[in-house]
Amino acid sequence: MKRAMRYLFVVIGFSSGFGIAYWGLETLESLLGQQLTVMQSTTVTVLAGLLGAIVGYLIAPKLVRSLKQAAERMEVTLTKIPIQEIIFGAIGVIVGLIIANLMSDALVRIPVVGIYLPTVGALILGYLGWSVGSNKVDDVIQLFHGLFRGGKERGYKGTTKVLDTSVIIDGRIVDITRTGFMEGTLVIPAFVLEELQHIADSSDILKRNRGRRGLDVLNMIQKEQRIPVIISERDYPGLTEVDSKLVQMAKEMDSTIITNDFNLNKVAELQGVPVLNINELANAVKPIVLPGEDMMVNLVKDGKEQGQGIAYLDDGTMIVVDGGKRYVGQDVEVTVTSVLQTAAGRMIFARLKSVDKVSVQGGS
């Protein structure tokens, strides 16, 4: 292969030297002030061709190495690009070149620079076609997915929503999609799937169970018919953290991130990316109780302050009952005295209904 390439460069060098000498004979004759004979002209062109062949032979190894390295780098780069991006990028280039060709007749009529504008236009529109085609893969897939699904989901109302690893493992997203309150398209990044796979393959049994639960949840989400789901092959090799990739993807797709990760929530909000936090949703839909309401609760343990008892509602809301310590393990009727909303959730303070009103102390 190397020998064939060297011979090829020898031929190219000879042809180049011969051609340059042939077309430059008039210039040479004007410099010398006399017309060359046929023999002299032939000698000059042949010598120029031989000189080009020698140059081609000498530089062939270096050029072959450079071309080989460039091809290897291009191969590595292309293998990292998802096949969807390559296909849609190529389609974008073709569309861009077609548009440039349609515009060339008008551009070429412009005085002075008109002869160059079609080439410049082809380069610019070709690049824009590749950029738009490769970066809008998910949007195009969404469009076709919606067309084939038909019905009310056609066109995908609402925005796309990117799921992070924590919310998939949590599992409540399945129940939320089943309610029909959520609209738009759920996007599951390939790098999130990869992280789930790593967790599922962990040697730690707890992590392994969490990872497998996440994969099961994904399977259930994909089977749901209420909301479209797509797997995005977008990746960001320059970023190492999954959270950073999620924020970048949401920015590019103008999407919302669904999570229950407090830190990701704050980072995304700082960068202007909208976030739907499952924990905040859970707190928002908890039953509302007002001071003065009566309820039956089961006291399960002592409170932090003296004489307090602790009970829980079905949704996990803590109820601090003043004077309830001596009734731990029993069902008692209480009256709500106040409700406190904290970052961790809602906390209810109450007193035993059978006793006179007493001051309620804060608890945790």
pLDDT in tens, 217-260: 888 888 876 778 888 888 888 888 888 888 888 888 888 899 88
pLDDT band at 145 (very low <50, low <70, confident <90, very high): low
> Which pLDDT score, from 0 to 100, does residue 144 have?
60
pLDDT of residue 218: 86
Q: State yes or no: pLDDT of 352 exceeds 60.
A: yes
Q: Once rounded to an integer, what is the mean pLDDT over residues 175-193?
A: 84
The confidence score (pLDDT) of residue 358 equals: 40
Find the mean pLDDT for residues 194-203: 88
pLDDT band for 309, please (50, 70, 90 cuts).
Answer: very high
Confidence of residue 80 (pLDDT cuts 50, 70, 90): low
140-155 average pLDDT score? 50
pLDDT band for position 147 (50/70/90)? low
Q: What angle do CA 135, 141, 144 make, to 5 degrees?
A: 140
Average pLDDT over residues 311-332: 87
CB 29 within 8 A of CB 35: yes
> Which residue did the predictor score with more confidence, 101 or 9?
101
Distances 229 to 65, 243, 265, 356 between C-alpha atoms, Å: 46, 20, 22, 57
Work out the pLDDT band at 361, boundaries 50, 70, 90: very low
Q: How far is CA 75 from CA 61, 72, 78, 79, in A?
A: 21, 5, 5, 6
Global pTM value: 0.48
pLDDT in tens, 1-43: 667 777 787 888 888 888 887 777 777 777 777 777 778 788 8
pLDDT tens across 124-143, in order? 988 888 888 877 766 666 56
Q: Does the pLDDT of residue 63 top 60, yes or no?
A: yes
Residue 285 confidence class, pLDDT cut points 50, 70, 90: confident
Distance CA 176, CA 95 (A): 41
Is the separation of the CB atoms in 321 and 310 below 8 Å? yes
Q: What is the mean pLDDT of the chain?
A: 80
Q: Does residue 151 have a pLDDT over 50? A: no
Predicted confidence band at 150 (pLDDT cuts at 50, 70, 90)? Answer: very low
Contacts of 289 (CB under 8 A, 6+ apart): 295, 336, 339, 348
**DSSP character for 290?**
-
- Is the pLDDT at 356 greater than 60, yes or no? no
3-state secondary structure of 185: strand
Q: Report in angstroms the alpha-carbon separations of 220 from 155, 175, 214, 281, 333.
A: 23, 10, 10, 21, 41
Task: Inform me whether the pLDDT recorded for 295 exceeds 60.
Answer: yes
pLDDT of 157 strictly over 60: no
For the chain, the first-to-last Cα distance in angstroms comes to 78
Residue type, 312: Y
- Cβ neighbours of residue 86 under 8 Å, at least 6 residues apart? 78, 134
Q: What is the pLDDT of residue 360?
A: 37
What is the Cα–Cα distance from 345 to 253, expressed in whole angstroms? Answer: 32
